[in-house]
Structure 1
Amino acid sequence: MTSGVDHKHEGGGDVYDVVVRGGLWFDGTGSPGTVRNLGIRDGVVATATTDELPVGPGTDVIDAHGKWVMPGFVDTHTHYDAEVLVGPGLPESVRHGVTTVLMGNCSLSTVYVNALDGADLFSRVEALPRDHVLRALESTKTWTSPREYVEALDRMPLGPNVTAFIGHSDVRASVMGLGRSTEAAGRPTRSELTAIDDKVNEALDAGFLGVSTMTNPWDKMDGDRYRSRTLPSTHASWSEFRRLHRILRRRGRVLQAVPNLNTKYDVAFFALASTGLGRRPMKASVLAAADTKAERWVNRIFGPIAYVANRLGKGIFRWQHLPTTFEVHSDGIDLVVFEEFGSGRAALHLKEELGRNDLLKDEAYRRWFRQDFEKKFSPRVWHRDFDDTRITECPDESLVGCSIGDVARSRKLHPVDTFLDLVVEHGRKFRWHTVIANDREKVANRLIRTPGVTVGFSDAGAHLRNMAFYNFGICLLRRIHDNEKRGTPVMPLGEVVHKLTGELGDFYGIDAGHLRVGDRADFVVIDPNGLNGDVDAYHEATMAEFGGLSRMVNRNDAAVSATAVAGKVVFREGNFVPGYGTSVGTGRFLRAGVEERSPAPARATPVAHPS
């Protein structure tokens, strides 16, 4: 495939579409970095050399002296399934060096279900505005099969490369109907089980990565028809899950699983399912290796479970780990952690603020909430400590900067009553912050080195008002770099790059995560001088695709000098190329098990980057 560019300059030698000069180059294999000049032609790395490379008048030259050049990051856990349909550039990921995103996680995809069912499946679980999700699906959904879905995405001006799991809830609802698939007593018939198998195989034939499933009871349906029922996948029996595992094992594809985050017992089921004693092992990627404040002992189990599954059981089991502090914001009570307990679920069941406020003022409800909140030995992810909070926005400005516990003491009230009073008084204008997990650097450094722990769980594209981890790769590089400067190295930089890139591409079986000669030129240029406090700063930006919603984002443009997809520099020094995500598309759908090193078919020709 050629780009139509004349690769001869006046002196007669070969020239390149892009030349990256003098950077410390990492190829994604885990090897140490070496200073090289990269020449990129027709979307592929043509050479990596210490020699000067010829350039022509059309060559895009990147001065990378003193910077790191590495494969673009692979984001393995996103919920971009709705956003990609109306904003295919996915700029919040690309501006942070991500060049490949995996969708269809947590049993949720938009392949088989209709638009209404898709909106009800996604919106409450992923804290997305339901009206906008429904509108996105209604205005774009022309596909009825996985193959048509892939073709539809490839026709869009994708920014990064995308790939996907087929969601078990999507398949189950399309076969059984959304109502029956979410009934506690609902069980698929023999013919329906066969139909589920057939649809899964159809998706794998189209190049999907595997199947995503869900057993966590927090995740609830939106809409009016089946509101507050748990997702279809949570109603499946273990025998139904085992049918899926047999398909994945036979075809060498991946299971993405979310265990019950309250009981955690079914982690053993997924670890056992991955093992290969007397059979072919199955790849399993499971949430989530985290150092939670609520249960400080939990971080110790991830290594041993992976060891037993992989070393003793000859399996291919991986944990997903967010390599930065897991901090969240909430507008009032609109936060998924309240789904952990019954009284919280009852409040979130009510969509209208007035009806919700009547409930929150009721004394019997408050007693229930206090009882749930104060249970000492109930399994939990959230620490439920109102002293470990900070009010960031409130119409009563005197409260900003205080913890909810501080306000409770000043009012001489129970912290739960104080919290519920603040929600009733100020609604969603009462905004507060807390840290859920990964707040101890020493533990985080141990987890990132633990065999069987991989980088993931950014949740990009979801929980738009609650959290923003689009820059997870930058966060990890900053922590590793800071430790190196302090003389307390965590792991070699080449291995860190491998964990963000090649390790993930190889595990999921996609052509991503490497930047060797002959590879597709998806890369990011990092300026280590930009790995500073800006990485952690709070920012918001409006989202035109979802009605001007102000969502949490990250902004560390000093760290990311440039991002390129398929050999085209699309983001540089804080700016995207004109037409990015509308008339300019560089990404493609990456099919599992298929080597696609050539760039995507041209849908538009990128123009020169802004000066």
Structure 2
Amino acid sequence: MAKSDPVPYWDILIHDALVFDGSGETPQQLDVAIKGSEIAAIGENLKSGGAKQLIDGSDKWLMPGLLDIHSHFDLEVEVAPELPEAVRHGTTTVINSNCSLGIAFGKQTNHDRPEENPILDCFARVENIPKSVLSKCIDTAVTWDNTGDYIKHFDHINLGPNVAVMVPHTMLRIEVMGLEDSISRDPTDDEIEKMCQLTQIAFDQGFVGFSSDGLPLHYLANDPHRNEKIPAQHATVKEIRALGEVTRKNERMWQCTPDPDNMLRTAVMFFMTSGRLFKKTLKMTATAAMDLNTNKRAADGLLRFSKLLNSNLLKGNFTFQALSCPFRVYADGVTTPLLEEKPAFRELNAIEIEDVESRRKLLHDPAFIERFRQDWMMGKQGFNLARLQRLLSIEPTTFSRNLSDIEIVSCPNEIWDGQNAGEVYQRLLNYQATNGSRGALSEQEAQEFAKFPNPIQDDADFILHLLREFDRQFRWYTITANTRPEVLKKLLFHEQTLPGFNDSGAHLTNMAYYDGNLLTLKMAAEDSIGLVSQAVKRLTRDPAELFNIDVGSIAIGAQAD
């Protein structure tokens, strides 16, 4: 393939690798030559004499760099632009500003309201990033105040991977309406028009899509708005449709999250993908296709709905993002996104991380204890709709609240490190029923059991005691989804999904799926080389084409990443 140049001059020649080119076709044993930043030649037995560097690819796979389509590196890339955790896991392109959050409009502070800090207010609680860390990043790294300067600044930092960004709906609303108004009233027609104009400008500058949000776990972090959802969730249908039309016209991607508390609104948004209804298809991707422990039917329902949207009837282009592994979520006491699902849990999460005293005061308040118990025990007792949904495994929630699903990682009482909370609870019940003669595994455990309310009322009492005693030193995790391997594999390779709900860069103390793409490849490798080829395509060329990014292929002239 390089016959016109008898002495080729290449920077790198990778010799005799098994090449997966991103097409999904059967891989071939080939040589690949690179000059500058592009692939210069592909073939068998390419001449190595003119290459500056020769890499032996025998017994190795060569594939395009992987895309992480759901990341939150917006601030991290400003302080660590090499993004080593992403790159070392094979990711060479990240897509930022998911879930309506980003920093494209700069700090967005307001001289008339100095107490407001929109980036901190939006990121701290949604992404579980400490305010002290966020403040340092904002103060030192964010120097622009518009989307154009934001895009340009990437030319002046030493990026590890390629970085693509979307227009973040929450920050767009703040830019046009101000933080206070963006959560307290509907936008005017002029404000909707201004949002559309700014979105069009951003698309012209190279933004690859638009991100919205509906997940009912996303709350602001500062007073007086701690009980308010982030601005994107206050958007009107008229506003969403207007912004959707700008995105459709520019053939960009619309990223969204469903609102399980308002499925009608969610369905209206999802139907925007329809080319039949709106004359032109809108590309859409949504989180997330997961096999929930609390709702075993949810994933199948999502896939059927996606199939309907993509049918000839509606002519959509809709894809659910899938997570490539069990959905393990860690918590430090109450600090976890899972405890944003219920009102009483949110009361605890709204308190500043460092404010131990206020949490303990609330945890000793009889009225709060009753609210907490009501939320914790919902569906576990009585005869009601919540109980029926729980029995049928169709609960509209993610966190099961079963002690048997909680694994203790560490706590000041180290004898419980690595133990299952449900087993500890059963030993406590035995200890109390026998007046301390049985149940405890050791004298140390008996001393801990003696501190619990006696008799303990229920498992809500048990978890309340642990939170009062240990606060954030009680570190635990639970696996809420993707525990059935055969269902997980189906979701990852289903025609209605793409792997990639990695959430990289977010929830750093709660979950980190930087290796999500590699886990997809591992699962495929355990099956067949043909499935590996399909996995590579789903992690490279498919998302690159969806987001219209010039990466994801091994071909002459393609970017060599």
TM-score (norm 2): 0.87
User: Secondary structure of 1:62's match?
Assistant: strand
Give the AA of the match of 2:79.
Answer: V
1:16–1:55 CA contact under 8 A, matched in 2: no
Distance 2:501 2:62 in 1: 24
CA shift digits 1:379-411 (9 cap, x unpaired): 101222111121111111111122222222223
The residue correspondences of 1:437-456 to structure 2 (distance < 5 A) are 437-456=481-500
Distance 2:285 2:496 in 1: 10
1:20 aligns with 2:26: no
Larger Rg: 2
Distance 2:512 2:60 in 1: 25
User: Secondary structure of 1:381's match?
Assistant: coil
CA shift digits 1:2-33 (9 cap, x unpaired): xxxxxxxxx98223211212211011111111
1:290 aligns with 2:307: no
User: Secondary structure of 1:320's match?
Assistant: strand
Residue number among 38, 50, 53 corresponding to 1:60 in the alignment: 53
1:399 aligns with 2:392: no
Distance 1:225 1:156 in 2: 36
Partner of 1:211 in structure 2? 210
How big is the shift at 1:262?
A: 4.2
Percent identity over the alignment? 31
Give the AA of the match of 1:290.
Answer: M
1:71–1:515 CA contact under 8 A, matched in 2: yes
CA shift digits 1:55-100 (9 cap, x unpaired): 45x7233222111110111000011111111110111010000000
Partner of 2:517 in structure 1? 473
Partner of 2:439 in structure 1? none
How big is the shift at 1:435?
A: 0.6
1:270–1:284 CA contact under 8 A, matched in 2: no
* Greater displacement, 363-372 / 235-244: 363-372
How big is the shift at 1:263?
A: 4.8
Partner of 1:306 in structure 2? 306
Distance 2:415 2:328 in 1: 23
Distance verdict in 2 for CA 1:167–1:464, change over 3 Å: same
* Greater displacement, 13-22 / 91-100: 13-22
1:213–1:258 CA contact under 8 A, matched in 2: yes
* Greater displacement, 80-89 / 322-331: 322-331
Gaps spanning 5+ residues in structure 1: where?
A: 1-10, 523-611
How big is the shift at 1:361?
A: 2.4
CA shift digits 1:326-351 (9 cap, x unpaired): 11111111001111111111111111
Distance 2:480 2:13 in 1: 43
Distance 2:180 2:269 in 1: 27
1:499 aligns with 2:538: yes
Partner of 1:384 in structure 2? 401
1:119–1:133 CA contact under 8 A, matched in 2: yes
Partner of 2:153 in structure 1? 152
Residue number among 507, 518, 523 corresponding to 1:463 in the alignment: 507
How big is the shift at 1:109?
A: 1.1
Give the AA of the match of 1:303.
Answer: L
Partner of 1:543 in structure 2? none
CA shift digits 1:472-530 (9 cap, x unpaired): 1111111121234xxxx8x62211100011000001111121121210101xxxxxxxx
1:78–1:460 CA contact under 8 A, matched in 2: yes
Partner of 1:427 in structure 2? 471
1:344 aligns with 2:345: yes
Partner of 1:40 in structure 2? 34
1:332–1:423 CA contact under 8 A, matched in 2: yes
User: Secondary structure of 2:275's match?
Assistant: coil
* Greater displacement, 432-441 / 497-506: 432-441
User: Secondary structure of 1:287's match?
Assistant: strand
Distance 2:260 2:67 in 1: 25
1:329–1:432 CA contact under 8 A, matched in 2: yes
1:25–1:68 CA contact under 8 A, matched in 2: yes
Residue number among 62, 65, 70 corresponding to 2:63 in the alignment: 70
Give the AA of the match of 2:310.
Answer: N
How big is the shift at 1:216?
A: 2.1
Partner of 1:181 in structure 2? 182
Distance 2:302 2:287 in 1: 10
**CA-atom RMSD, angstroms?**
1.7
1:96–1:474 CA contact under 8 A, matched in 2: yes
1:238 aligns with 2:241: no
Partner of 2:87 in structure 1? 94
Distance 2:199 2:404 in 1: 47
Distance 2:547 2:289 in 1: 18
1:197 aligns with 2:196: yes
How big is the shift at 1:367?
A: 2.1
Give the AA of the match of 1:335.
Answer: T
1:23–1:66 CA contact under 8 A, matched in 2: yes
Distance 1:282 1:349 in 2: 37
User: Secondary structure of 1:443's match?
Assistant: helix
Give the AA of the match of 2:322.
Answer: H
How big is the shift at 1:193?
A: 1.6
User: Secondary structure of 2:202's match?
Assistant: helix
User: Secondary structure of 1:372's match?
Assistant: helix
* Greater displacement, 411-420 / 26-35: 411-420
Partner of 1:134 in structure 2? 135
How big is the shift at 1:264?
A: 4.2
